[in-house]
Amino acid sequence: MDALTRTDYHFPGQTGVYHGKVRDVYSIGDNQLVMIATDRISAFDVILPKGIPYKGQVLNQIAAKFLDATADIVPNWKEASPDPMVTVGVRCEPYKVEMVIRGYITGSAWREYRQGARTLCGLPLPEGLRENQKFETPLITPTTKAEEGHDENISKEEIIAQGLVSREEYEQLEQYTYALFKRGTEMAAEKGLILVDTKYEFGKKDGKIYLIDEIHTPDSSRYFYSDEYSVRFEKGEEQKQLSKEFVRKWLMENGFQGREGQQVPEMTDAYCNSVSDRYIELYEKITGEKFIKVDAADLEMRIEKHVTDYLNK
């Protein structure tokens, strides 16, 4: 199995590197970043022990497509994608919050609601909601951006009071978030999908707000199939969905939720390949394009050559 789970490059002009849960981000000079989407997979804020073949290519190519398709709404950090697993772009100072937006009550929001919570990030929730029910209007439920461990839910007023973002800038981030979600919803509908929820990250450079990181990928977003949504909802059945939720469910069924003392279940080659197949299915459904597997032999050398050639131009 050819999967890229770690990188250790020394690119021209490199000034630093940050290894995230899934992405490795190399700083080039003061103004540029090289972001490599590895084949690592994380769930419950834990990096799982094995990589998923082609996952990095899937995520990078979906993100590049959606960054290009939303550049008229808000400027974004992307300059080029010199390799199927790599995006090179503008270095920004990230805001210390992630803008999560939810069109439906599902996932962690539903789990909290079911346990009796009637507010979410300071927003009131009505009584009588059912799992996967559509909100009247999408809710922005931001989280803190944790260096390590879990991101925590936070309200708009707490963000402003703590000085994480000024009121004026936060309200601009809200406007961008609603507009991006609307565009993502429209693009999903064209493919027979519902964009259920997603998150956006923003940064600032020279006084200007940029959209950074990935958008509308199955790692950062949840999609339902629109043709089956109403029937399944009326029957109280689980929705057929495109997201990483199937990995979380497999882990939970095998006794793992990232808590202390819990062991990640064995990830066999067959299981990893089945996850890879699901990610490729996600790509093809979300983009409407055939996924073309790039030769995964000598992955590290291929990436190094493509990035180096780009930076030396």
pLDDT tens digits along 51-102: 999 999 999 999 999 999 999 999 999 999 999 999 999 999 999 999 999 9
pLDDT tens digits along 232-249: 999 999 998 877 888 988
**Any residues with CB less than 8 A from the CB of 240 and at least 6 apart, and which?**
224, 225, 228, 232
Percent of the chain, pLDDT > 90?
Answer: 89
**Any residues with CB less than 8 A from the CB of 153 and at least 6 apart, and which?**
120, 121, 141, 142, 143
Q: What is the mean pLDDT of residues 203-210?
A: 97
pLDDT tens digits along 270-312: 999 999 998 998 899 999 999 999 988 889 999 999 999 999 9
What is the per-residue pLDDT for 269? 94
DSSP state of 153: B
Strands 143-144 vs 46-47: parallel, antiparallel or unpaired:
unpaired
User: Is the confidence at residue 162, as pLDDT, over 80?
Assistant: yes
pLDDT confidence of 172, banded at 50, 70, 90?
Answer: very high
- Run of H or E residues at 196: strand 193-205
Domains of the chain and CATH, by start: 94-242 (3.30.470.20)
pTM more than 0.75: yes
How far, CA to CA in Å, does 93 sit from each of 27, 182, 202?
Answer: 12, 26, 9
Contact between 282 and 218 (Cβ < 8 Å): yes
